[in-house]
Amino acid sequence: AQKVTQAQTEISVVEKEDVTLDCVYETRDTTYYLFWYKQPPSGELVFLIRRNSFDEQNEISGRYSWNFQKSTSSFNFTITASQVVDSAVYFCALSPLGTGFQKLVFGTGTRLLVSP
């Protein structure tokens, strides 16, 4: 069985603060993908990143960075110098490779509120 846990229900920060969103996953599969999605108030889920279980390199994209640690089954997401536009619900998700398609299992999401 697959499970994704996002223990932080809601985080409030002030603009320019750094913030880390935690994601812990459980899977018996040896190969899988991990994802982060953003859901702004408009409601559409926006893809942020996909990480293959073979690749533990950290990734940085502008103000966003991701830390994948297989040893602790975690895939944390850090926003540096947060902005008001970062306010959204962020979902971590897992897809095992054995199903033949991208069957996403989502965490419950973390609501990020960035105030000016």
Partner 1 sequence: GAGVSQSPSNKVTEKGKDVELRCDPISGHTALYWYRQSLGQGLEFLIYFQGNSAPDKSGLPSDRFSAERTGGSVSTLTIQRTQQEDSAVYLCASSLSGGAEYEQYFGPGTRLTVT
Closest to partner 1 by CB, 102 vs 115, is: 102
Instruction: Find the distance separating the first CA and the last CA of the chain, reported in whole Å.
Output: 41
Closest to 95 measured CA to CA, from 106, 108, 104: 104
User: Among 41, 43, 62, 116, which residue sits at the site for partner 1 (rule: CB under 8 A)?
Assistant: 43
SS3 71: helix
Query: Residues near 1 by Cβ (< 8 Å), separated by ≥ 6?
Result: 26, 28
Q: In the range 72-91, which residues lie near partner 1 by CB under 8 A? A: 91
Smallest gap from Cβ 97 to partner 1, in A, equals 5
# chain residues binding partner 1, by CB under 8 A: 24
Give contact residues for partner 1 (rule: CB under 8 A).
Answer: 33, 37, 42-47, 50, 91, 93, 95, 97, 99-109
